[in-house]
Amino acid sequence: LNAAPGRAPRQQVRFLPAPAAGGGGAVELVAARVPVLADHPLVRGPRFRRLKIGAGHRLDVKASGVFVLGIGRGNKLLTDLYNCHLTKVYTVGGLFGKATDDFSDTGKLVEKTTFDHITREKLERILAVIQGTNQKALLMYSNIDMKTQEAYELAVKGLIRPMGKSPPIITAVRCLQFALPEFQLEIHCLHETQQYLRKMVHEIGLELKSSAVCTQVRRIRDGVFTLDDALPRTQWDLQSIREAIQNCQLKVEAELEKTL
């Protein structure tokens, strides 16, 4: 950023002595534009010494995926986006047969169980129940009076969402892959932490009368930002960041207007 050409230095009008138009040794005062010395880059120093960077929703050390950052004035947009309470989408990978103390595969082993009685059908049934109970929680924490007509209309459109603090709520779950002992789920959720998702994998294992640990948590969408907008490590340079900011600007503005 500092290498980019900076602002042109301010100009001032000074009357400088210059030799006269005619001959002789007389000196005239001629008006000329001269750059102000105080604006010289060697005097001023680098333009940017610090950048204010804020982070969006937290991402664990063991998890990976989309991580939203705001620079400078974008931090205010970050708080607005947080108040929009948009859903995030994760792909969670799990493994049947083990139970550990921190619910992931790097933890201390607690128990090993059999898992050959588990079928995709049973897993989908459990996922349907999880969705059902979370749907109820969604309606309850949204603090809308259920007796009003507008509550009914919002419920029909599916727009009821808790707009304040709430415990983690899962709006949708789907099984993407199932190959014993591994499986992969796609989870849409609100106000969650990655550890909560790992705990959920563990509880799914318990419901299926076996045990499960979480091998992978990857965020693929955070509100309006998807994997396509995200910059991989090789593209962490000024040009790509600029392009990315420009591409997302419109989307962010549209979403903020819609909600607030």
Kind and range of the H or E run holding 251:
helix 238-259
Given the rule CB under 8 A, which residues bind another protein?
97, 109, 111-114, 116-117, 122, 125-126, 128-129, 131-133, 135-136, 139, 146-149, 151-153, 155-158, 172, 174, 188, 207-210
Task: Tell me the CA distances in angstroms from 14 to 11, 17, 18, 220, one per residue in order.
Answer: 9, 10, 12, 60
Tokens encoding 98? 């083990």
Q: How far is the CB of 151 from another protein (least distance, A)?
A: 8
| Minimum distance from residue 62 beta carbon to another protein (Å) | 18
Classify strands 212-222 and 64-65 as parallel, antiparallel or unpaired. Answer: parallel
Q: Least distance (Å) from another protein to the CB of residue 113?
A: 5
We find the least distance from the C-beta atom of residue 119 to another protein, in angstroms, to be 10
For the beta carbon of residue 119, count every other beta carbon within 10 angstroms. Answer: 12
Residue tagged 């990315």 (tokens): 244
- Cβ nearer to another protein, comparing 64 with 113: 113
Q: What's the DSSP call for residue 25? A: S
Q: Between 46 and 158, whose beta carbon lies closer to another protein?
A: 158
> Which member of 60, 102, 105, 229 is catalytic?
60
Question: Is residue 60 among the annotated active site residues?
Answer: yes
Contact between 64 and 219 (Cβ < 8 Å): yes
User: What is the C-alpha to C-alpha distance for residues 55 and 68, in angstroms, rounded to an integer?
Assistant: 6
Task: Closer to another protein by CB, 91 or 131: give it.
Answer: 131
Cβ closer to another protein: 59 or 127? 127
Residues with catalytic function:
60
